[in-house]
Structure 1
C-alpha cells in the first residue's frame, strides 16, 4: 500500500465516525449506548492488537488512576458529547467543529505556561480559527445559526480532547508502558465509565442498520484507526499523520452530504476552510511537525506532542 493510499484509507475510516454516529442516532440508539458499545468494541480490537504485539497492560494502581482521568476526558466524555451534539447538528458540521481541538490545545498550553508566547502568525491563526467557528455558528442568523446546546456540546467535546492531551502529556506519556497496551487499558477504563450513561435516554431501539453502524464505529473508526495512525507515525513520520488530520473535516462533510443528504451551505464550507487555515497557521512555527489532535481521536492514548 502506497503512502497516499494509506493516508486516504485512514482519513476515510477516521472521518467516517461522525457519519456512523448520526446513523446510529437515526436508528434509535441513544448517546449512552453508542458511547458504551463504541468503547467496548474499540477495546476488543486494541486488546487483540496488544496481545499479538506481546504488550502487557499496566499493573500499578497509579497508572490506572491516571488512565481513569484520561479515559474520562479523552474518551467517555467527548464520545458522549459528540453523540448528544449530533442529535441536532449535522455530522459534517460535527467533524468541522472537532477540528478546533488544536486551537483549544493552544489556549490551554498558553494558560498552563507550556506554550511559548504567541508570535504574529500563530496569533492570527488562533483568531482566524475561532472566527471560522463563529461563522459556522452564525449566532446573528436566527433562522439557520447553530446556537443550540447540540453545537455547544460538540465544541465542549473538542475542548475536552484538548484538556486530555495536556493531562496525558504530563502524566501518562513517556512512562514506559507500550502504546498499544496503554491505549487498550485507557479504552477499557472508558468502557467502564460509560456504563452509567446506559440508563440515560431510555431503552434503545435495535435495528440491523443501527447494529452495523455502531459496529463500524467501534471496530474501524475507533479501534482500527488508532492502529493505522500509530503505524503511519512509526513508518512515515508525524508529517504524514498531520496531513490525515486536516483531511478529516473534509471527509465528514463529504460523507454527510453524499450519504445523508446534509446540506452543503456556503457558510459552513467557508467556515470549515477558515478553521483549517487557522489551525494550519497556529502550527507553522512549532519547530517540528506533529500529528494534529483533530478528528474524533480514536483513543487519544499516547498522543503525539505538539
Structure 2
C-alpha cells in the first residue's frame, strides 16, 4: 500500500457527499488491508520475485489501453520522474513486500506499513526542505519505537525477525517516492489516472521480463496454481491500480488529512485477515501497532 498526492489542490471545507467519502475510505482500507494476505496466498505456489512481478504486470495491463488512448497528452520531459515513481513507489516495494510475506505474518506487515508517513516526513525534511515540528518529531520517535516492538515481537519472547526490515525498506521507498511525486509530478495539467498509467508503463515491461525469465510458466501446471495466480493478479489490479484511482478520487472529494486516515484502518484489516488465517497475534503486536498509529497521528495532526 501507498498514498499518493494528486494534482488537485482543492480542499473542500465541507463534505459534499459524506456517504460516498466514507464508503471510499472503507473500500480502500479493505483493499489495501487485504493486500498482505493476498501476498501470503500467492506465495503458496509462486516465489516472491514472481508474485511481485505478477502484481506489477497485472497493473500494467490494466492501465495499458487508457495509456494508449491518451499517449499524446503525456509530458515526455517527465519520463525520468515517471520511472523513479515506478521503481521507488511500486516495483521495488512489490518485491520487498513479497519477500517479507514469505516469512512474516500478514498482520505484522500491515502494521509496519503504517510507518510510511513517518519516512515521508523524514525524507521531506532531509532532502526537500520541509519542516518538522516538535510534535511531529515526537510522532516519528513513537512510530519507530512501535516498529521496533513489531520487529522484535515473538510468541516465545523477543527476537529479531529480519524479514520485517523488507517492509521497513519498502515504506522508506514509499516515503522517497511521495516526496518526488509531490515535487515533480503535480501541476502537469493531466489527471492523476493518466499520471499513474504513465508510471506503470515504465515498470510493467521490467516486471514482465523478470517474470518470464523464471520458471513461472512451469509452475502454472502445479495444483492450486490458478488460485494463486488470481490472488497475485488481484494484488495488481485492485491493490496497485484501482485502489490508487479511488484514493486520488477521495483526495479530490475531501482533504488529504481525511484521506490519510486510511493509514489507521489498514492494519486493522490486515490483522483481522491474519487472525482468520490462523496467524498468532500477541500482545506485543497490538502494543507496537498502537504506538505506531499514535506516532502517525501526531505526524499528520494539523497545527
- 175, 198, 221: which is aligned to 2:211? 198
Residue 34 of structure 1: SS of its match in structure 2? helix
Counterpart CA distance in 2 for 1:233 and 1:213 is 28
Could you say what the CA RMSD is over the residues aligned between the two structures, in angstroms?
A: 2.5
Does the Cα contact within 8 Å between 2:57 and 2:208 map onto a contact in 1? Answer: no
For structure 1, which segment, 270-279 or 181-190, has the greater mean C-alpha deviation from structure 2 after superposition?
Answer: 181-190
TM-score (norm 1): 0.83
Is residue 241 of structure 2 the alignment partner of residue 223 of structure 1? yes
CA contact under 8 A between 2:251 and 2:259: conserved in structure 1?
yes
The CA distance in 1 between the partners of 2:213 and 2:52, in whole Å, is 12
Partner of 2:94: 79
Q: Which residue of 1 aligns with 2:7?
A: none
Counterpart in the other structure of 1:233: 251
Pair 1:118 & 2:136 matched: no
TM-score, normalised relative to structure 2: 0.83
Structure 1 unaligned segments of length 5 or more: list them: 288-306
In the TM superposition, residue 13 of structure 1 has moved relative to its aligned partner by 1.4
Structure-2 change in CA distance of 1:84 and 1:67 (3 Å): same
Separation (CA, whole Å) in 1 of partners of 2:155 and 2:20: 47
Deviation at 1:56, TM superposition (A): 4.2
Partner of 2:55: 38
2:293 equivalent to 1:276: yes
Which residue of 1 is the match for residue 149 of structure 2? Answer: 135
* CA deviation after TM superposition for structure 1 residue 59, in Å: 4.4
Give 5+ residue unaligned stretches, structure 2.
Answer: 1-18
Instruction: Call closer, same or farther: CA 1:65–1:110 in 2, change over 3 Å.
Output: closer
2: CA distance between counterparts of 1:70 and 1:268? Answer: 31
Closer/same/farther in 2, CA of residues 236 and 108 from structure 1, 3 Å limit: closer
Structure 1 residues 197-206 or 260-269, which shifts more?
197-206
Q: For the residues of structure 1 that align with 2:200 and 2:126, how far apart are their CA atoms?
A: 28
Q: What number of residue pairs does the alignment pair up?
A: 280
Q: C-alpha offsets along residues 275-297 of structure 1, whole Å, 9 cap, x if unaligned?
A: 01101011214x5xxxxxxxxxx
What SS class does the counterpart of residue 188 from structure 1 fall into?
helix
